Amino acid sequence: MLDIKKQSGEFTLKISYSEKFFPYIIEKGSVAVDGVSLTVFNAAKTSFKTAIIPETAVSTIISKYKKGDEVNLEFDIISKYVEKQTEKGRS
């Protein structure tokens, strides 16, 4: 976790990840952060941001996050499927 900003009960998270996962991060796409499906914005090669509404923050572990915490990322299954099909085409 690179950064956390809280304003009026809403959280904005900036999350870093290994550049090898960049193909799975799509602007306005979904990524699960510790099992919570969130929408990506400001996608870059090694980080992205996501906004958390107050209800999601209090109903999940997100309200406990601190800068520097490690999180588990799960990428959209469709991107994994496309990658697999593309690899089959190369073999």
Q: Which pLDDT belongs to residue 47?
A: 97
Range of the domain at 79: 3-90
Look up the CATH number of the domain holding residue 74: 2.40.30.20
Q: Which pLDDT belongs to residue 42?
A: 96
Q: Which pLDDT belongs to residue 87?
A: 75
**pLDDT digits (tens), the chain, 91 positions:** 789 988 877 889 999 999 999 989 999 999 999 999 999 999 999 999 999 998 998 899 988 999 999 999 998 877 777 777 777 666 5
10-16/30-33 β-pairing: unpaired
Q: Which pLDDT belongs to residue 90?
A: 64
Overall domain count for the chain: 1
In the beta sheet, which residues pair with residue 48? 15
Q: Which pLDDT belongs to residue 67?
A: 92
CB 61 within 8 A of CB 13: no
CB 63 within 8 A of CB 26: no
